[in-house]
Amino acid sequence: MNASIGVGPRRRGTHPVAWWGWALLLATAASRTANPWLLLLIVAVSGLVVTWCRGDEPWSGAYRVFLLIGATAIAVRMMFYIVFGGAEGTTVLFELPSIRLPEWAAGFRLGGAVSAEGALAAVWDGLRLATLLVCVGAANALASPRRLLRSVPAALYEVSVAVVVALSVAPQLVSGVARIRRARALRGNMSRNPVNVMRTVVVPVLHDALDRSLALAAAMASRGHGRAAGVPTATRRATSASLLIGLLGLCAGAYALLGTATPAPAAWSLLTLGAAAAVFGIVFASRRVPHTRYRTDVFGPRDWAVLLSGAAAVAGTVLSGMAEPGTIWPATSPLAAPPLPLYAACGVLIAAAPAVVAPTRTRTGTG
């Protein structure tokens, strides 16, 4: 126990912002395609990087939890297709008794024919959602939530409790699950009934995680996080307003961009304006909040490499989207094995670089 671990310059892990950036870029790449090979490749790459680069902290188990959530997402998407229908096809697998809905619900059906083409489209759509979730899971497993909290701009103090809870709840959840499940075994309750699991595992774990996140937020507040001492009220209100407007603009812009109803230039300008307002709010408010660093948390070359490798995945999908659009959004009707988009696959493979660039620091003598 007394063998000191931290003697000499510490070899620090990769910056949490780099991990989140990498994971979100990978998620962006996933959202730009419905090609199952590509999606599976993204899941594999994220899995590889998590295995090689995660530490042994409590939150490192997050990836497995998110894999499970992803699998559930596919199952739920499939169920929705079977019950409510979706893409139609000619290869009917089986037929459910269908119910005619009243006039006002036109466009929906309940039951009816279940076709192979429709089912395939549903699975691929579910897989896309699952891949997005798995990318978020990878970020949670890789990035230290505490170090990430330190990187949050002080300007967000107005919403600091919300930020702390948002950033720390997932890791707290993961560490809570094992404890609660063990206690459940003590009661002899091994039921796998979803309602029972919901009540006896999910609810206590959520309760516990929220309690802990709030305790952390309280501790941060009593340690001076987000001090506004000496800042005039009017200025504080102005910065909060610009932050809020900026975030709303960002959301609206992202929604417009993903939807098809808004023309692209309008969506982009909305997004840019929102981003500008948010950045202005953060920069302006950060200037007003006195804040120093004990030791600068440098965003080094390795962190940039991680971030760039994530960007390569997005670039790959964009290239493929221009050069071979049919492969990025493969048709399910008629039934055929979708081809592998070449550029995108190369991009995603480059995103596996962190496994080589930033493997877990080798620790010896912990104990």
Partner 1 sequence: MIHFDRVSFRYEDRLILDDVSLDVPEGEFCLLVGTTGAGKSTLLRSVNGLVPHFTGGTMTGEITVAGRSVRTSSPADLADVVGYVAQDPLAGFVTDEVELELAYTAEQLGLPQSSMRKRVTEIVDLLGLADVRGRDLAALSSGQRQRVAIGAALVAGPSALVLDEPTSALDPGAADEVLSALHRLVHDLGVTVLLAEHRLERVVQYADSALLLQDGKVTAGSPGEILATAPVAPPVVRLGTLAGWPGPPVTIRQARRAAAGLRERLADRAPAEAPAPVGATLLEASGVTVDHPGVRAVDGVDLAAARGERIALMGRNGSGKSSLLWALQGTGRRTAGSVSIAGEDPAGLKPGRRRVLAGLVPSEPADLLYAETVAEECAGADRDGGAPAGSCAKILADLVDGLDDGAHPRDLSEGQRLALALAVTLTAAPPLLLLDEPTRGLDYPGKAALTGRLRALAETGHCVIVSTHDVEFVAEFASRVVILSDGQVVADGPARDIVSASPMFAPQVEKILPGRLTVGEVADALEGIDADDDAE
Catalog residues that contact partner 1 under the rule CB under 8 A. 1-2, 4-7, 10, 56-57, 144, 146-147, 149-150, 154, 157, 179-180, 182-183, 185-190, 199-200, 203-204, 207, 212, 215-229, 289-295, 366-367
Closest distance to partner 1 from the beta carbon of 287 (Å): 12
Residue ranges in the chain assigned as alpha helix (H): 16-31, 36-53, 62-84, 116-142, 145-151, 160-186, 194-197, 203-222, 233-258, 264-288, 301-323, 325-328, 342-350, 354-357
Q: Which residue has the tokens 């671990």?
A: 5
Q: What is the Cα–Cα distance from 197 to 143, expressed in whole angstroms?
A: 29
Peptide bond connecting 359 to the previous residue in cis, omega within 30 degrees of 0: no
**In the complex with partner 1, which residue's Cβ is closer, 93 or 183?**
183
Closest CA to 110 of 133, 84, 76, 142: 84
Closest distance to partner 1 from the beta carbon of 222 (Å): 4
Q: What is the Cα–Cα distance from 128 to 70, expressed in whole angstroms?
A: 9
**In the complex with partner 1, which residue's Cβ is closer, 222 or 260?**
222
Closest distance to partner 1 from the beta carbon of 365 (Å): 10
Burial string for 284-318 (b: 16+ CB within 10 Å, else e) reads ebeebbeeeeeeeeeeeebbebbbbbbbbbbbbbb
Closest distance to partner 1 from the beta carbon of 227 (Å): 4
Q: Which residue has the tokens 């063998």?
A: 3
Structure tokens at 331: 């048709």
The secondary structure of residue 151, as a DSSP letter, is H
**In the complex with partner 1, which residue's Cβ is closer, 272 or 287?**
287
Closest distance to partner 1 from the beta carbon of 294 (Å): 4
Closest distance to partner 1 from the beta carbon of 358 (Å): 17
**In the complex with partner 1, which residue's Cβ is closer, 90 or 235?**
235
Structure tokens at 277: 């307002």
What angle is formed at CA 97 by the lines to CA 93 and CA 102, rounded to 5 degrees? Answer: 125
**In the complex with partner 1, which residue's Cβ is closer, 221 or 350?**
221
Closest distance to partner 1 from the beta carbon of 69 (Å): 21
**In the complex with partner 1, which residue's Cβ is closer, 126 or 226?**
226
Q: What is the Cα–Cα distance from 335 to 215, expressed in whole angstroms?
A: 54
What angle is formed at CA 77 by the lines to CA 71 and CA 82, rounded to 5 degrees? Answer: 130
**In the complex with partner 1, which residue's Cβ is closer, 227 or 302?**
227
Rg for the chain, CA atoms, rounded: 24
**In the complex with partner 1, which residue's Cβ is closer, 88 or 211?**
211
Closest distance to partner 1 from the beta carbon of 367 (Å): 6
Note whether 9 and 297 are within 8 A (CB).
Answer: no
Q: Tell me how crowded residue 230 is: count the other CB atoms within 10 A of its CB.
A: 8
